[in-house]
């Protein structure tokens, strides 16, 4: 390789490194030299870039020194790439920067072995060809590496589509058992059974047999949120890394586990999901100079659940703040509540147009923003929000029709896969539930220490705690011991849901949040 040819390779690599430094780093966030990984990455990149520039010198001693310096940081550079991948959320920056560094090292070493000679005359056409080939090959390698690195932490499998059996309404005995071989942090009805969230991913289990159907995980990252669409055909999962607030939202087909699309965001959003869109909720002050006492305003950015394309945006009205939001699924409309000078209003934003399909005044103005977020239950058919005083309002999500007002001191805790439940007493237990019509149905007392309750149209299913294990009680009958340990109340994604009784297709699925969990299917 002639001198000009190797120099062109070095310059091409340097440009690739420069581009890679400014690309999306996803979970690693912006450059922060206070972290070990960023110091290692920046340090090795700086040495390689300096070696590349030094290799352009005419003196052979300088070129040999450059080659030695570049070769010396190959291993640290590889460790930097490995560290980025192990973070769970590497960005295309890592792949492009790695390719650029490799090209610079290759060109630098080639320069060290060049003989002295001229580069003019007949060598100019050859140099032009080398330039074109070097740029083309580097660009192609960088493009490929960007995609490979982003998907490197992903561990996934898929399944063929299948029809979901009817939901189980009661349970008489254990049908199957699945050992998670790791943490169990959430369980939701989805597809042909349930989807179980662990530390870094989700696994779908068949409701009838308990067999794993598909899985999706990002090794090194952490599952921060999980929502299933009301029709149970889409699973939306959010992963976070340990190094920054950056989050990656991934939409999966609930029946097959196929990845539809994903998007990296600056920080974790709240997820408001319907059958056709996921609205990503972000927050901002009314203006940049406002003090911390000013209420936050919500901005919803909706994306199509199938394609990921932007559909619409929605913002709180001028002069209004936004009540506390929690991720939820709702039928046909995205529920969001605003706090305005004339009171609090619950909006149902049409999933297709982004315009208010309905709005409902729920309580008078108060200087203190409600600490009860809008919640959904009954498969997203009903939403619950705070009303005047200690009351709560139950609203049909699709129409905005008020189906019930709960004038009670009891705490409404909607179950994502079941009915709105009212908790009261000491120790706290479920004393009543709201059916699909909004009627309040009294729940007879059961065991003394309830871990979780599901109220279906056929039975009241209670997961009960004892000193050594958990038991299942159907209606008021005798409790049946289960092979489940008490678990860890802080292990769940939602700290208000540390135990799960989920009426799902094919089985009632039972589990507890735990660092090493077991999931049981009963029917």
Distance separating alpha carbons of residues 120 and 208, to the nearest angstrom: 76
Residues 97 and 217 in one domain: no
Residues 413 and 514 in one domain: yes
Residues 93 and 224 in one domain: no
Residues 133 and 174 in one domain: no
pTM: predicted TM-score of the whole model, two decimal places: 0.88
Residues 302 and 409 in one domain: yes
Q: What is the pLDDT of residue 317?
A: 85
* Bond before 44 cis per omega within 30 degrees: no
Residues 161 and 270 in one domain: yes
Q: What is the pLDDT of residue 437?
A: 74
Cβ-contact 475, 465 below 8 angstroms: no
Residues 18 and 46 in one domain: yes
Distance of CA 14 to the CA centre of its chain: 35
Distance separating alpha carbons of residues 286 and 316, to the nearest angstrom: 10
Angle, helices 60-72 vs 92-112, to 10°: value is 140
Distance separating alpha carbons of residues 279 and 269, to the nearest angstrom: 9
Burial 450-474 (b: 16+ CB within 10 A, else e): bbbbbbbeebbbbbbbeeeebbbbb
Q: In sequence order, what are the residues at sequence separation of 6 or more whose Cβ sits closer than 8 angstroms to the Cβ of residue 286?
A: 294, 295, 297, 319, 321
Residues 78 and 205 in one domain: no
Which CATH number do you get for residue 302? 2.130.10.10
Residue 14, helix vs strand vs coil: helix
Number of domains forming the structure of the chain: 2
- The whole domain housing 303 covers 155-522
Domain boundary among 106, 125, 152: 152
Residues 113 and 236 in one domain: no
Residue by residue, DSSP assigns 71-91 as: HHTHHHHHHHHHHHHHTS---
Domain boundary among 152, 186, 217: 152
Cβ-contact 352, 361 below 8 angstroms: no
Cβ-contact 214, 205 below 8 angstroms: no
Residues 204 and 256 in one domain: yes
Cβ-contact 334, 313 below 8 angstroms: no
Residues 145 and 159 in one domain: no
Domain boundary among 136, 152, 168: 152
> Residue 265 forms beta bridges with which residues?
247
Cβ-contact 153, 90 below 8 angstroms: yes
Q: In sequence order, what are the residues at sequence separation of 6 or more whose Cβ sits closer than 8 angstroms to the Cβ of residue 392?
A: 372, 384, 385, 386, 405, 406, 412
Distance separating alpha carbons of residues 341 and 203, to the nearest angstrom: 46
In the structure, how many helices (H) and strands (E) does the chain have?
Answer: 6, 34
Residues 349 and 377 in one domain: yes
pLDDT below 70 — which residues of the chain?
Answer: 1-4, 115-128, 243-244, 285-295, 369
């Amino acid at each position: 390789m002639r001198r000009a040819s190797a120099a062109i390779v070095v310059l091409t690599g340097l440009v690739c490194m420069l581009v890679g430094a400014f690309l999306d780093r996803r979970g690693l966030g912006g450059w922060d030299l206070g972290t070990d990984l960023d110091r290692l990455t920046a340090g090795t990149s700086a040495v390689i870039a300096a070696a590349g520039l030094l290799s352009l010198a005419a003196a052979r001693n300088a070129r040999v020194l450059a080659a030695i310096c570049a070769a010396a940081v190959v291993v640290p550079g590889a460790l930097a790439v490995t560290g980025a991948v192990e973070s769970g959320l590497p960005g295309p920056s890592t792949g492009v920067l790695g390719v650029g560094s490799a090209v610079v090292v290759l060109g630098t070493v080639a320069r060290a072995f060049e003989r002295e000679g001229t580069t003019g005359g007949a060598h100019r056409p050859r140099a032009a060809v080398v330039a074109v080939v070097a740029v083309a090959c580097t660009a192609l390698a960088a493009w490929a590496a960007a995609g490979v690195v982003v998907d490197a932490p992903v561990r996934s499998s898929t399944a063929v589509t299948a029809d979901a059996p009817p939901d189980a309404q009661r349970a008489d005995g254990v049908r199957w058992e699945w050992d998670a071989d790791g943490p169990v942090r959430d369980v939701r009805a989805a597809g042909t059974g349930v989807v179980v969230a662990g530390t870094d991913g989700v696994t779908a289990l068949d409701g009838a047999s308990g067999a794993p159907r598909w899985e999706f995980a990002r090794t090194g990252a952490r599952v921060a949120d999980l929502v299933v669409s009301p029709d149970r055909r889409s699973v939306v999962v959010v992963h976070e890394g340990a190094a920054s607030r950056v989050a990656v939202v991934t939409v999966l087909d609930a029946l097959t586990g196929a990845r539809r699309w994903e998007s990296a965001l600056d920080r974790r959003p709240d997820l408001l999901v319907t059958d056709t869109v996921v609205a990503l909720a972000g927050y901002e002050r009314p203006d940049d100079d406002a003090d911390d006492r000013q209420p936050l305003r919500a901005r919803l950015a909706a994306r199509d659940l199938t394609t990921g394309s932007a559909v619409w945006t929605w913002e709180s009205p001028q002069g209004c703040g936004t009540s506390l939001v929690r991720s939820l699924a709702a039928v046909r409309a995205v529920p969001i509540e605003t706090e305005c000078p004339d009171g609090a209003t619950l909006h149902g934003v049409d999933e297709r147009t982004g315009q208010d399909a309905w709005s409902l005044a729920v309580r008078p103005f108060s200087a203190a923003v409600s600490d009860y977020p809008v919640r959904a239950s009954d498969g997203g058919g009903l939403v619950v929000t705070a009303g005047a005083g200690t009351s709560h309002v139950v609203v049909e999500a699709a129409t905005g029709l008020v189906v019930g007002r709960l004038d009670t001191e009891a705490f409404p805790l909607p179950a994502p896969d079941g009915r709105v439940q009212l908790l009261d007493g000491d120790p706290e237990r479920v004393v009543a539930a709201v059916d699909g019509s909004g009627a309040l149905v009294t729940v007879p007392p059961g065991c003394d220490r309830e871990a979780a309750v599901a109220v279906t149209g056929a039975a009241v299913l209670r997961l009960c705690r004892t000193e050594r294990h958990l038991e299942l009680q159907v209606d008021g009958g005798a409790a049946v011991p289960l092979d489940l340990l008490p678990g860890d109340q802080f292990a769940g994604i939602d700290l208000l849901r540390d135990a799960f009784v989920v009426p799902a297709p094919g089985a009632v699925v039972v589990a507890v949040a735990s660092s090493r969990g077991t999931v049981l299917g009963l029917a």
